[in-house]
Each structure stands twice: as C-alpha cells, then as structure tokens.
Structure 1
C-alpha cells in the first residue's frame, strides 16, 4: 500500500491494480489501527484484477459461472464483480466522529458518487429498495453503474463503492450482480463518457467536503 496525502484530515490514496485478497487484508489491518488510534482515516482508490466477491447475503445460486477467483468479502450485500476499468473506493472512517449512523453513512456515500458522476456528465440516482447507483442505459432501460457495500467494525467503516468507468461488462454475466435479475449494468464508457481513473479521482476529491458535511462530522479539519 503506497503512502497517500492528507485531505480534510483524511489520508487520500490513489493506486492502480491491487489483488483483492491483498487489499482486504490491508483494510482489516487499517480498520483495527483506526479503532485503536494508531492510524488516520483513509480513502483508498484502486482497481482489482478480475474477481467475484461474495457479501454476507450472497446466494450460491447467483454464482452462475465462477470463471474468476471468488472471495468472501465480509461486507454486506451479495455477489459483485471487480475488474480493470472499474474504480473502487474503500472508505475507512470513524463514525464515532459523526453520529454513529450507518444508514446515514451509506446515504452520504451514495450521494458522493452521484454528485461525482454528475460532474463528469452522467445523471444517476438512488432507487427505492435497491442499494447502489442507477442511471438510464443507452437503450433507455434502468441499469446499475455503481455498487455500494460496507462493513462497520467498532464504528469504523470498511469497503465502500465501485463505479464502472470502462470495465468489460461481459464479466458481470458470471454472477447475478447484487442478486438483482431485472436490471443490467452499464458504464461511463458505454454511455459515451471516456473518463480515466485520474479524472475520476480528481472529481471525487472535489466532492469530498460535501460528503463529509453530509456525515455531520463534529470535528472536521478545514479542507
């Protein structure tokens, strides 16, 4: 894990591909360090080699074609795919500094991604009863462009979000993404928006103060 820079009192780290199991181990260690006051909070942006990850609600029937490594992630949710062209944001924050509201954290995380997508030309939204970030695909049908999956241990968050910049969408066919069969997945590239990881990370950083404000943080350093 490379050293990041500090923004708003949080370490901000941008990397390329990191194997999923390695990233998971790093998150576990960092979560414990934050809980014990031995490390700062962290936003970690990266990608993974192709992998299917299983959340705590994953059903065996939703793993249709295990062509890639399958890893139990420990986060909430069901099966999802990670791979090149998809930007991952692991967000490790101490919710004791806000209002210990896990639902509020998820809502703020969704809002952060939605605002960043808007800044880059894609209109997206939440959907009632469905976790994640949704938009209209090129055929006019609703499709998922971003996934949310979190875990909280000792009021410190783990995992976070993924956004499809330009992944191979065929790789999602090996699973039922998030257990939802009625809707497809899409990407910024499919919608005609070519966005690099560097551009995505910069736009996300620009919205960091808004995200933290949505959490109602009690001791927020100046951004």
Structure 2
C-alpha cells in the first residue's frame, strides 16, 4: 500500500494515509479492525485513510435480504451500521478511526461532524449538499432536479474507537448501484460529481477534505455539535 502525505493536514496524533491503487475490501476491513484495537490500547495514532475499492457490495447490520437485488459483485458483511452499500472505482472512501473516549463521548455528534465535513468539502467544487431528516447519507440536487445521494455514511464504534466512515461518488459506474437498494432507500436515486458535470480527481477531493479537516476534529471536542 502507498502512503502519501502530499497536501494532507498535519494534526497531532492523527496519521493520514492515501492509496493510489484499489484496496480489496476484506483487506481494508481486517486492517481497520487491527488499527482499532491498537488505537484503543494506546499503541497507534488515530487514522484517516483515503482509498478506493474494487467493486463490492457491503452489508451493514441492518441490511435486508430483499434489498440485494442482483449480487453481481462479492457481498461482504461489514459490521458497520446501515444497510447495503456499493463501493467501487471512482468512489472515494474515507475511513476514520478516532478515539472518542478522549473527546466528547457523543456518537450522534460524531456522525453529524462527518456529514458536515463531507458537505463542506463538496462546497469547494460548487456542489450544494445537505442532510435529510430520516434519510442517512449526503444529498444533493441531481441533473433532473430531484434529490439524489452523492455520499454515504456508515460507522461502527468499538470501545469508543470509531471504524468505517464515509464514501463520496466522484465518478463511479452508477449502474453498479442497481444491484442493491442503496441504504434501503428506493425512492431516491444516486448521483456523482461526474454526473453533475464536475471533473474531480481523487487528489483534488482528498485535498478538499484536508482543508476542512481541522474543523472536523474541532467538532469532536464538543458534545452535540449543531453546525
């Protein structure tokens, strides 16, 4: 795996890792589990890990069998919250492993902070995005005028150390989402930066996350952040 600190923020106690090749999902999951335990034991820094996977469907703890419509790719039980999600090339993943036990012990606030981080990064490319009450994920206005999901959120917290994180659709093959009901929500579509006319590379996206990273980490010190 390639470690590249170019254009990434320097935040004390946090390692930033960027991958420029596809990382198999099972390998990433095993690595996250090991790092989670090491962080809890005080043997490793916290981690923000930015990468992409080969095509895969992952099942969260609330996944329903009926929402797996066409298992054309490998299906992996992820252990995170949520339902079925697709990961594949052109979709940038952010795995965030931080110790909430040393910050505000507020899981809901942590999820809110991740959502805000992604929304702020999207705004750097002129994409207005928002949270939607009762619908997990990051939403925006699609080219047909309707709401569509551009980012997914799925986390797990073990002994107050987080795992998993978020994904954002830069330029994936959107037809691959047709094999599942993404996050159990069938009424709305899925979109991407490319579909919205934004040509955004992984490097550019990672740099945007870096610009807003300090604000994200600052929010983790507060219980129930509202912005």
Q: 1:37: which partner in 2?
A: 42
Q: 5 Å matches for 1:43-192?
A: 43-192=48-197
| 1:121 Cα deviation after fit | 1.4
Q: Does 1:13 align with 2:17?
A: yes
| 1:3 Cα deviation after fit | 4.2
Task: String of CA shifts for 1:104-146, please: whole Å, max 9, x gaps.
Answer: 0000000000000001111000000111100000000000000
Structure-2 change in CA distance of 1:28 and 1:162 (3 Å): same
| 1:7 Cα deviation after fit | 2.1
TM-score normalised to structure 1 length: 0.95
The answer as to whether partners of 1:4 and 1:11 remain within 8 angstroms in 2 is: no
Q: 1:220: which partner in 2?
A: none
Structure 1 CA distance for aligned equivalents of residues 23 and 166 of structure 2: 16
The answer as to whether partners of 1:51 and 1:71 remain within 8 angstroms in 2 is: yes
The CA RMSD measured in Å over matched residues stands at 1.3
Count of residue pairs brought into register by the alignment:
218
Q: 1:207: which partner in 2?
A: 212
| 1:2 Cα deviation after fit | 4.0
Task: String of CA shifts for 1:59-78, please: whole Å, max 9, x gaps.
Answer: 00000000000000000000
5+ residue gaps, structure 1: 218-223
TM-score normalised to structure 2 length: 0.94
Structure 2 CA distance for aligned equivalents of residues 213 and 129 of structure 1: 26
